[in-house]
Amino acid sequence: FAPKLLLEATMATVLVLGSGGREHALIWSLSRSPKVGKILACPGNGGTSRTKKVVNVPESSDLVGSFGRLDLCVVGPEAPLVAGVADRFRAAGVPTFGPSKDAAVIEASKRWSKEFMVRRSLPTARFAAYGRDDETPAMEEFPYDVVVKADGLAAGKGVIVPPRGDPKKARQAFETLRADPSPANDVILVEERLEGPEISLIAWCDGSLCECMPPAQDHKRAFFGDRGKNTGGMGAYAPSPLISPKALEKAKDIMRRAVDGLKDEGRPFVGALYGGFMLVTHNNNEEGLGSSQEPYLLEFNARFGDPETQVLMPLLKSDSFDVMLACAEGRLHDVAPVRYKRASAAAVVVASKGYPEKYEKGRKMSFLFQDHQDEKDDQKDDDDQEGRLLFHAGTALGEDPGDLVTSGGRVLAAAALAPELKGAVAAAYALASRVRFQGAFYRSDVGRRCLDAPVRMAVLGSTRGTSFQPLLESVLRKELDASIEVVVSNKDFPGGILDKAREGKVRAVHLPYKTQNDAASYGAKLTELLREANVELVLLIGWMRILSPTFVDDWRGRCLNVHPSLLPDYAGGMDLAVHEAVLRDGKTESGCTVHLVTEDVDGGAVVCQSTCAVDVNTPEALKARVQAMEGPALIAAVRRFANGDAGERFVPRADLVGEQRRSSRLGGSSSSLGAKAKAKAAASPTKAPPPSEEGPLTYRSAGVDIVAGNALVERIKPLAAATKVAGAVDAIGGFGAVFDLSAAGFGGDDVLLVSGTDGVGTKLKLATEAARALGDDKYAVGVGVDLVAMCANDVATTGATPLYFLDYYATGKLDVDRCARVVEGVAKGCLDSGCALTGGETAEMPGLYTGSDYDVAGFCVGAVRRHDLLPKKMRAGDVLLALPSTGIHSNGFSLVRKILEKNVVKTTLADALRADASTFFEDPSGRCLADVLLAPTALYSKPLRRLRDANVDVLAAAHITGGGILENLPRILPEGLDAELAEAAIKPFPPLFRWLQANAAAAQGESHEGLPDDEMLRTFNCGIGLILVVHADDAQPALDALPDLGIKTIGSLVETTATTSKDHQRVLLR
């Protein structure tokens, strides 16, 4: 034991003062440092008590002398800082991360803080301050709308924002604050109300230097849509891309000037300085075209924000102990630059009913996952399983060992980490939904200000901009939730793209490309211009200049090009040369492709494609047809980018996490061909670039991209983590998935394992065609749900509980966005069926599959106790119950596609799929035909579980898949019993199936009208997805247990007769 004791003696002891979620996040981060051996949480909370290396200690009047040797003290809340606790610890020789009482005045008094901002010329809103002896101001005399604030500490709740233009409400707000006898309200500030998104920028400070953390955004109001009263914060995410690169530089400079000012005034700031900024939009010129952001200070805080800390600490890559100690000792330069992960974090605060006003405490808590944050036994970080993090605030230990109870308004924050914001938000909500206590609530819109923000676009073009016009009109009509911030062209001529921009009141910039300029310097000018305009997405529309490798790298995942062919055919070609080649090669189909711009010419991931028939004879006519499709295709691509379904909109920019501009990985080569080279490249279709003659043949040049595969794994990890259930041990990305049956409640000798495997069939083909037709790959999510349903439903019919699922995705060229959407659907299906996504395989097989065509397979394993295994013993008179399908589900699509080809399509398949379904059959939902045909398969494991919970004894269950009712129902029937179905309960078929029936015969060349009923029942589910067998006395309880799911009685079991036995009929219609 001596080496261990010696090691512990040399490791640091850290004291953290505070009991909230902020302190738990700081403690969690410090506990991960190999230099920290012990953390004293004073007083801590229920979560800190279960964190490794941590001991909760009670507060004491002799705070400084109570803890023995300390290597670092970290002060979390503002109240002890304002009271001077940091001074006391420093006086005792303890390095302390936290400002002195003199420096903490920057938060203790908003009046002092605002006056400091004015003295140091830091941009802020106008204001006036009033003491208790001053008269109430005449609000109507202020030349601006106002915000009313208490001067002192108010736990984030001393701010009232009256309605605009309502001086009466402003006066009421002022009087409400003044009526509070708290010293915090001895002075009231009336401040100019600014408009714009708010950003929290927190800086590490050592008294002289400061270094800013990634910008975060919190959510102050209690309820959805920024309704309700102000709180301490109901959620946060970081880094926030709402701040432009230029505004971020300005905000960081403001923070540096503030630290300099505090030092100059004899109040050196050590600790975390919090700057609350409002990003105000300013027009760039007299015409009001184009805009830029200006950061204005709203407030300073003398400590970490809460809940911003809960998203910033997970992003921190540097050792937090090293950074805090360096700040405390005045040597931040020793650890700078502080490093962060290139990722996004989101946190959702779960609060007690009644917060921020009166709420109850002592509610017992439970967590719907295994081993919640119990890290003591084996020092394992269960708190950080694939980005799953719970930071406690208002929790305490209960009376029984291991119990947790609520002890505050904000109970805890469910936080998650992911490569991009959309995944982090989804994973945080999945985690929050598994936290249970009476009265729990949380906002449902954390991160939506960013995720739903209009896309800020720039267009680069060199030609007349014909394809730009539909995009512009869509924006002006507000059909596309986007703005065009600037149009840039190297040419300015009458009728050109810049003229179209001016006519549409869009900022137009002529940036000539002079011969003496090289691509790199021109690209740098472009990037500077685009960053100043806070552009998120760059569209190339007829851009005829070479883009530098650095420009391509700077805008990777955020730059789209429209190409006049169906890539990968004719990659590198341009204009008429492409259309000439299409006609020469006898193609029957052409179109356009919108793709991401990469170093590979026209080789970036396809975002969307639009197709048309080649039934013209001249390249000019084909060009006109394809060009008319480019504008709508660009609109569809922008929508996909806006939703985060293509590109890297929600992947953090490098500057947001403190990285410098990425150095080019592309050497000196150009990212796009010049006009002559592109015309030459159009001579023949290009399926794949040839191996480089200048370098070795690599796996990537052979068509397999390991980097893309790794990127996919990182992107889907939070999706998989959100599905974790008790028993799921290992994380996605390993060699195998491990599952602990005992932890899942299936220990013992009577447990049987049940497995199921399936695919989605040719529904994939129609889903791909629909994605191309609608310019939206949303159907890939449905495919993922289908995959789980086809396997988990089969497993559930045996009486088993689906436990875990694995998927297999095979393709010719990995489209990370599409594959991620499929896995998003798989994760959704797993959540809805109650099983864990524990792993999968992505196989990129060029030559076996064409382009990004793909196939999927799924594998599900469940468990059942022997006495619960289905089917059980049945008898004549047992009742047949049916749960409805959501549509066709995943079988019969070979016939469906034939019907579409033969009977429906008068122009193109795309037109039919886009059309309203009511054009073909009765459907009041307003959905298009593709939505109806491709509706995801229903999941039945949870309904079966509800029946068990209602003590309904299910005897057997049949999943109605390929083969329909007539082939699947007999699979569960014992010898001597047949199924007798009431025809009135089966027919008439739902409208979708009647339409298929009426058109199927002609599609197959039949001479008679319509497909026979028995053939329909042997091909499709005809509206019934699951059939159950129960005893007669269980029928009504079953109907009562699932009234919301449309369950109904459809028949009963009868004894087999000589006639039915002879005809081999097991399913009879009466």
pLDDT digits (tens, 9 = 90+) for 494-510: 999 999 999 999 999 99
pLDDT at residue 1047, as a whole number: 96
pLDDT over threshold 90, residue 719: no
| Alpha-carbon Rg for the chain in angstroms | 32
What is the per-residue pLDDT across 791-801, written as a single tens digit (0 to 9) for each? 999 999 999 99
The kind and range of the H/E element at 854 are strand 854-865
Q: Are 966 and 1017 a contacting pair, CB within 8 Å?
A: yes
Report the mean per-residue pLDDT for the chain.
Answer: 87
| 3-state secondary structure at position 37 | strand
pLDDT over threshold 50, residue 771: yes
The kind and range of the H/E element at 390 are strand 388-392
How far apart CA 4 and CA 465 sit, in angstroms, is: 72
Q: Are 1046 and 1038 a contacting pair, CB within 8 Å?
A: no
Percent of the chain whose predicted confidence (pLDDT) is above 70: 88
pLDDT over threshold 90, residue 240: yes
What is the per-residue pLDDT across 141-168, written as a single tens digit (0 to 9) for each? 888 999 999 999 886 668 888 999 899 9
How far apart CA 295 and CA 254 sit, in angstroms, is: 9
How far apart CA 747 and CA 1015 sit, in angstroms, is: 45
Q: Are 67 and 261 a contacting pair, CB within 8 Å?
A: no
- C-alpha dihedral (955, 961, 965, 967), degrees to nearest 10: -90
Cis peptide before 356 (omega within 30 of 0): yes
Taking each helix axis as running N to C, give the angle between helix 101-108 and helix 110-119, from 0 to 180 degrees, rounded to the nearest 10: 100
How far apart CA 811 and CA 848 sit, in angstroms, is: 8
| 3-state secondary structure at position 983 | helix
What is the per-residue pLDDT across 276-294, written as a single tens digit (0 to 9) for each? 999 998 876 555 566 678 9
Q: Cα 915 to the chain's mean position, in Å?
A: 30
What is the per-residue pLDDT across 601-633, written as a single tens digit (0 to 9) for each? 888 888 989 989 999 999 999 999 999 999 999
- Is the sign of the CA dihedral 430, 435, 438, 441 positive or negative? negative
Q: Are 483 and 502 a contacting pair, CB within 8 Å?
A: no
Greater pLDDT, 20 or 518? 20
Work out the pLDDT band at 807, boundaries 50, 70, 90.
very high
The kind and range of the H/E element at 807 are strand 801-811
How far apart CA 364 and CA 358 sit, in angstroms, is: 18
Beta bridge partner(s), residue 804: 836, 861
pLDDT over threshold 80, residue 673: no
How far apart CA 707 and CA 943 sit, in angstroms, is: 41
DSSP 903: I
The kind and range of the H/E element at 297 are strand 291-301
What is the per-residue pLDDT across 976-1002, written as a single tens digit (0 to 9) for each? 999 999 999 999 999 999 999 988 865
pLDDT over threshold 70, residue 703: no
Q: Are 159 and 147 a contacting pair, CB within 8 Å?
A: yes
> How many CA atoms does the CB half-sphere of 1008 hold within 13 Å?
5
Work out the pLDDT band at 455, boundaries 50, 70, 90.
very high
Work out the pLDDT band at 685, boundaries 50, 70, 90.
very low
Distances (CA, A) of 236 to 208, 219, 224, 344, 905: 29, 6, 14, 11, 49
Strand order across the beta sheet in which 96-97 lies:
54-56, 36-43, 12-18, 72-75, 96-97
Work out the pLDDT band at 733, boundaries 50, 70, 90.
low
Cis peptide before 337 (omega within 30 of 0): yes
| 3-state secondary structure at position 949 | helix
Q: Are 154 and 229 a contacting pair, CB within 8 Å?
A: no
Q: Are 1022 and 892 a contacting pair, CB within 8 Å?
A: no
pLDDT over threshold 90, residue 675: no
How far apart CA 178 and CA 148 sit, in angstroms, is: 10
* CA 946-951-953 angle, 5° bins: 95
Q: Which of 420, 422, 446 has its CA nearest to residue 657?
A: 420
Residue in the structure block whose two tokens are 């200690």: 57
Work out the pLDDT band at 700, boundaries 50, 70, 90.
low
Cβ neighbours of residue 963 under 8 Å, at least 6 residues apart?
891, 1018, 1019
How far apart CA 758 and CA 756 sit, in angstroms, is: 7
